[in-house]
Amino acid sequence: MDEMGRRRAIYLGVLVAVETTLAACADTSAPGTRPAANASGRTPKASRRPGSPSPSPSPSPSPVFRPVAVPTRRPIHLISEVNPAAPPNAIALTIDDGPDPEWTPRVLDLLAQHHVVATFCMIGDAVREYPDLAKRVTAAGHAICNHTMSHPQPFAGLSAERMSSEVAGAHREIWKTTGVTTRLFRAPGGSWSPAVLNTVAENGMQPLDWDIDPRDWSRPGTAAIERDLLRAKPGSILLCHDGGGDRAETLRALTNVVPALLSRGLTFVTL
């Protein structure tokens, strides 16, 4: 190796060291965040930063709540409110009430078939009962949102103490199982109140709502679910369910809707 080659090798070595240090600093300054989806809307495992939560966390102390950079004390309806860096043609599919042994695997298979990602709003009790499913969700690059420990309704009617334990219980269960520190919270049934929003903010999370709700949980028929979901626009957050009962209509609707939205040039992103 000549002198120029040696200098270049030293320069590259220093560059790698600096980048490694910066990556480590970024991890400690933004705990709990997940890699943003890339331009294709996917969140490849290869983009997982060093030190990011892994699907198999080693036993260690309980997770600590840390406020996100800019906690918003109002429910988020559009992607731009939670992820300003998302591409302009982004849409986000959120899937609530799982994991469920019958429906979650089918939804995951469908999403994988189209190479799209979603955000799963999980119930802590279900995560505890089906930990392998929760791990499968994160291993596939999807995001997780806190959807309480036991899905009590009306959530806004609970005492402050119970509210807090529902939020913290799910946070802990999801973290213990998947290594993910949830930074988004969705109230069961979208039941928000000043007390709920305070509890969410105290726990360092942002409240997450939606702007397209096909009410698939009420089983209005596959065509009705499809019609509503196809109203999605760039920036929309869609609501669907993979738990809480027979989700055959939801699955059939998504089977048609996901490729239809992709064909419009929309890109699925995680939140």
The residue sitting closest to Zn ion, measured at its beta carbon, is: 96
Residue 226 lies near Zn ion (rule: CB under 5 A): no
Closest approach, Cβ 151 to Zn ion, in A, equals 6
Choice from 96, 100, 209, 216 touching Zn ion (CB under 5 A): 96
Cβ-based nearer residue to Zn ion, 188 or 235: 188
**Torsion angle of C-alpha atoms 192, 197, 200, 203, degrees rounded to 10:** -160
The tokens describing 78, both together, are 């559009």
Distance of alpha carbon 11 from the chain centroid: 39
The answer to whether 131 and 270 are in contact (CB under 8 A) is no
Closest approach, Cβ 96 to Zn ion, in A, equals 4
- The Cα 248–Cα 267 span in angstroms is 24
Cβ-based nearer residue to Zn ion, 96 or 100: 96
Nearest to 94, CA basis, from 181, 8, 207: 207
- How does strand 237-241 pair with strand 143-146? unpaired
Residue 100 lies near Zn ion (rule: CB under 5 A): no
What lies within 8 Å, CB to CB, of 184 at 6+ separation is 82, 119, 121, 143, 145, 146, 205, 206, 207, 208, 271
Nearest to 179, CA basis, from 130, 143, 129: 143
- The Cα 248–Cα 221 span in angstroms is 10
Cβ-based nearer residue to Zn ion, 242 or 267: 242
Does residue 96 have an active-site annotation? yes
Closest approach, Cβ 246 to Zn ion, in A, equals 15
Closest approach, Cβ 117 to Zn ion, in A, equals 20
Cβ-based nearer residue to Zn ion, 96 or 166: 96
Residue 209 lies near Zn ion (rule: CB under 5 A): no
The count of chain residues that interact with Zn ion, using the rule CB under 5 A, is: 3
| Amino acid identity at 23 | A
| Amino acid identity at 165 | S
The answer to whether 93 and 115 are in contact (CB under 8 A) is no
- Judged by CB under 5 A, which stretch of 36-44, 89-97, 157-165, 166-174 contacts Zn ion? 89-97
Choice from 99, 124, 188, 207 touching Zn ion (CB under 5 A): 188
- Judged by CB under 5 A, which stretch of 87-95, 180-188, 207-215, 224-232 contacts Zn ion? 180-188
Q: Is 198 helix (H, G, I), strand (E, B) or coil?
A: helix
Closest approach, Cβ 29 to Zn ion, in A, equals 32
Nearest to 237, CA basis, from 151, 68, 121: 121
The tokens describing 192, both together, are 């928000």
Active-site option among 77, 96, 213, 216: 96
- Judged by CB under 5 A, which stretch of 13-21, 55-63, 68-76, 93-101 contacts Zn ion? 93-101
Active-site option among 142, 241, 242, 246: 241
Cβ-based nearer residue to Zn ion, 168 or 240: 240
Closest approach, Cβ 186 to Zn ion, in A, equals 7
Residues marked as catalytic: 96, 241
- Site residues (vs Zn ion, CB under 5 A): 96-97, 188
